[in-house]
Amino acid sequence: MTKNLFRLSTASLELVLAAALWGFGFVATIWGLVAWAPVPLLFWRFVIGTIAGVLIAAVFARPSRKELLWQLRASFLPALFLAVMILLQTWGMLYTTATKSGFITILYIVLVPLLETVVARKRIPIQLWLCIAISLVGVYLIVDPSWDENFNIGDFLTLLCAFGAALQIITVDRVSGRVENAFVFNVFQSAWAALMLLPAIPFQPGHLLVSSPPISAWVGLLSLALGSTLIAFYLQVRAQKVLSSTVSSLFFLLESPFALLFAYLFLNERLGAQQGVGAVLIMISAFMATLPGKIKN
């Protein structure tokens, strides 16, 4: 196995794991919203992720002061789009169904190459457009959306979330090549996100401190903080040092079948034959996106 192929395979596996953690995040969010309103839930998510990250980094990572200052500045813009993205998605889930939320959110897969074309004037290979088309068909088959209901505020918030997700991926791609320690970068990103959410807490119903939240709410919060935030976004930054933002976004499509799998296991939802076909299409498109020639130089 060549060095480039090994790096490509490792980055691909890291994004699959990140997608699995984010997929479970849908279940974790539902559990967490039982006890906390969206802003307090997300604030604690990023605070806990930051504290845990600082403790780990203090033992295993010793970046220079110059590197710390650079990462502090470089992580601000990705953190801004991260906070906006997750807030809009979580807020939207109060008004819309998880199925519609998943389908609308995944539109960022299309927005990433489109925004890159407009902003950076990059050319997107026809193979990637084909992958995107196959992936979206797969996602559509998996979630089997029903548009019988009126387009509500939750759907609109989730649509805005898709733009935030695309911008977060692109901004991470802009700085990932210079990131020496992806873990430390993600800790800064989480800290910035927590600070950005702090001013919104007084305007959100509910409180930061909730008396006697159920065990499932604690499991949801800790899963979001340690799994979806600390580990998954760290893996994203690491992988985007190797894979382009467009290719990376295709792997994020796996978040949808993972979400359905965990919903089946923990929320008693069932998968049908149509969903199975959709999952296969997503796997095929993700494999096509990792063919040689898609690694960063």
The C-alpha atoms of residue 228 and residue 231 are separated, in whole angstroms, by 6
The one-letter code for the residue type at 257 is P
CA 24: distance to chain centroid? Answer: 11
Q: Residue 80: which of 208, 226, 188 has the closest Cα?
A: 188
HSE of 155, CA atoms in CB hemisphere, 13 A: 11
The one-letter code for the residue type at 240 is Q
What pLDDT sits at residue 58?
83
What pLDDT sits at residue 118?
73
The C-alpha atoms of residue 158 and residue 142 are separated, in whole angstroms, by 18
pLDDT tens sequence for the chain (297 residues): 577 778 888 888 999 999 999 989 988 998 999 999 999 999 999 999 999 999 998 887 777 788 889 999 999 999 999 999 999 999 988 887 776 777 777 778 778 777 877 776 767 778 778 877 887 887 777 766 655 555 578 878 888 998 999 899 889 888 878 888 888 999 999 999 999 999 988 887 767 777 788 999 999 999 999 999 999 988 988 888 888 776 777 788 788 788 888 888 887 877 678 877 877 787 687 667 656 444 454
* Entry pTM: 0.80
Other residues' Cβ atoms within 10 Å of the Cβ of residue 226: 17
Q: Are 217 and 34 in contact (CB under 8 A)?
A: yes
The C-alpha atoms of residue 31 and residue 9 are separated, in whole angstroms, by 34
In order of 36, 128, 140, 190, 226, the CA distances from 208 in angstroms are: 7, 44, 37, 18, 19
List 243's β-bridge partners, or say none. 295
What pLDDT sits at residue 293?
45
